Structure 1
Amino acid sequence: MNGMQCIKYVMFVFNFLFWLAGTGVLAVGLWLRFDSRTKPLFEGVDSPSVFFTVGQSGLCAPDVSEDPSQRPARSLRVFVSAPPSSGKQGVYLLIAAGGLMMVVGFLGCCGAIKESPCMLGLFFIFLLIIFAAEVAAGIWGLSNRDKVIEEVTEFYKQTFDNYKNTKQEALKETLRLIHFGLDCCGPTGSLFDAAKDICPKQEGLAILVTTSCPKAIDEVFNNKLHIIGGVGIGIGVIMIFGMIFSMMLCCAIKRSREFV
């Protein structure tokens, strides 16, 4: 019985943290969808078919006067949707993922505390579906890596050209997020590109060796792939333990009720 109580509270803590993470993902998705700076990206028939979120410390673009050496490392998350007609799917996928994480976390917490085999069973099923989707996405990403890089690069070039022609504020914010997140500037990394206020500020000779964004995107996918894979494997292992613990707790609950 002590082992059952231990698993019960481990399940509760794990799923409470999972629920909090889902709340955060959902909040970011809703913020991106309805924030005045990014809202225009998802409205209208010309909204882009690929969506990025860049940054560890939020999605607000950093100060252009910030010293590059003092900027914290930033990460790049990429959501690639299918054809242009479904261009808004990236942010909605983020919202759906957050909502699903909240539901799974709720089922796990309540199932553990209430000792409900039904809720624990639903928790196991949802976690199994998410695990299968993660494996499928990983396999697809590895087998289509070149295609993903090509589409992301094309999205960047399209956004850059559209901003040059329209000067739309939402496109400016998107470009600043990408430029500061990847520490790059423009399609070519030329001196002309580096002079723009949407690029990281460079000083001295550093302005002559600015990295182009297509090159930076390629480096993220090719040089950081082992990090992405490691994170994915770590998440998968946690999910497997979650499924094992949920079944162990479910079986222990059923056995305890048979003795009553």
Structure 2
Amino acid sequence: MGASEEKKEACGTVCLKYLLFTFNFLFWLAGVVVMAVGVWTLVEKSDYISLLSSKTYAASAYILVLAGAIVMVTGVLGCCATFKERRRLLQVYFGLLLCIFLLEILAGVLAYIYYQQLNEELKQNLRETMTQKYQQIPHEQITRAVDKLQQEFKCCGSNSSSDWADSVWIRSRGANSRIVPDSCCKTQTELCGRRDHPSNIYKVEGGCITKLEKFILDHLKIIGAVGVGIACVQIIGMVFTCCLYRSLKAEPY
């Protein structure tokens, strides 16, 4: 009976090892995905971050990048701990899983909170940012972001093209009699912003604020879903780790 029980226990440990190894490989791939989402948000869409007064959106992306990097390292550590059957390594591995779990839940919570307050922030700040900082010397990044926003989303002004009438730059000589920036034009050419007729510029109902809000909300959904989704998967890994830990004999000191 004793030999039979030991054999069953050994088989159970082997099964747990392979389950945990498979999990770690998939977990490592998930880390690559999490990191890629964070990096893509920060690099590809970094210009739009400069248009937001709050840093919550960027913070969520940075947390994903950090969590993704730790996940990749943890996946390798988990494989080593599994095959070497070292309880201490499994303890470290479990601790890292818990840290990543908390980081990704935090990213998801931040994304959700910012999701709720985004509309109000854009209403309060986007128009002022565009009219007061566009084409001003200390704010070159905002100028690039506004031009990219208007061209990419085919819009003009925060709420409408008439917002540009209050622009510091439009009122200056540097505007060369433009009524709106050239990036408002359907076909962008030098000084095309002198005509604000609907045949020449984008006249979108709701202006750029509705377009930017939809874009960021879509990205917040992705950030939140990735963070919370991977965190839920980690619960399985933590359960497997605990089971394997309990099945291994204590290491001699």
Q: Structure 2 length as normaliser, TM-score?
A: 0.59
The answer on 1:110 being equivalent to 2:82 is no
1:200-255: CA deviation from partner (whole Å, max 9, x where unpaired) = 6349965455222124335557xx66x85476345423321122223313422441
Matches within 5 A, 1:1-260: 1-19=14-32, 21-22=34-35, 25=38, 54=45, 82=54, 94-95=61-62, 97-115=64-82, 116-151=89-124, 154-155=125-126, 157-166=128-137, 169-187=140-158, 188-189=160-161, 196-199=181-184, 201-202=186-187, 207=200, 209-211=202-204, 212-220=207-215, 228-229=220-221, 232-233=224-225, 235-257=227-249
Query: CA shift at 1:18, angstroms?
Result: 0.8
SS at match of 1:201: coil
Q: Is the 8 A contact 2:130 2:146 kept in 1?
A: yes
Structure 2 CA distance for aligned equivalents of residues 112 and 77 of structure 1: 38
Identity among equivalent positions (%) equals: 10
Structure 1 CA distance for aligned equivalents of residues 116 and 26 of structure 2: 36
Q: 1:166 to 1:102 in 2, by over 3 A?
A: same
Q: 1:215 to 1:80 in 2, by over 3 A?
A: closer
Q: 1:165 to 1:3 in 2, by over 3 A?
A: closer
| Paired residues, number | 208
Q: 1:125 to 1:81 in 2, by over 3 A?
A: farther
Q: Which has the larger radius of gyration?
A: 2
Q: Is the 8 A contact 1:127 1:239 kept in 2?
A: yes
Structure 1 CA distance for aligned equivalents of residues 200 and 90 of structure 2: 62
Query: CA shift at 1:91, angstroms?
Result: 5.7
| 2:167 corresponds to | none
Structure 2 letter corresponding to 1:185: C
Q: 1:147 to 1:110 in 2, by over 3 A?
A: same
Structure 2 gap segments, 5+ residues each: 1-13, 83-88, 165-177, 189-196
1:29-69: CA deviation from partner (whole Å, max 9, x where unpaired) = 5xx6xxxxxxxxxxxxxxxxxxxx63xxxx69xxxxxxxxx
1:76-119: CA deviation from partner (whole Å, max 9, x where unpaired) = 7789555xxxx7x8767755642343123312331233323123
Structure 2 letter corresponding to 1:10: F
Q: 1:133 to 1:25 in 2, by over 3 A?
A: closer
Structure 1 CA distance for aligned equivalents of residues 161 and 66 of structure 2: 39
Structure 2 letter corresponding to 1:242: Q
SS at match of 1:186: coil
Structure 1 letter corresponding to 2:17: M
Q: 1:100 to 1:160 in 2, by over 3 A?
A: farther
Q: Is the 8 A contact 1:16 1:109 kept in 2?
A: no
Q: 1:81 to 1:168 in 2, by over 3 A?
A: closer
1:136-173: CA deviation from partner (whole Å, max 9, x where unpaired) = 3244235434433334xx14531443224449543332
Larger helix percent: 2
Q: 1:171 to 1:144 in 2, by over 3 A?
A: closer
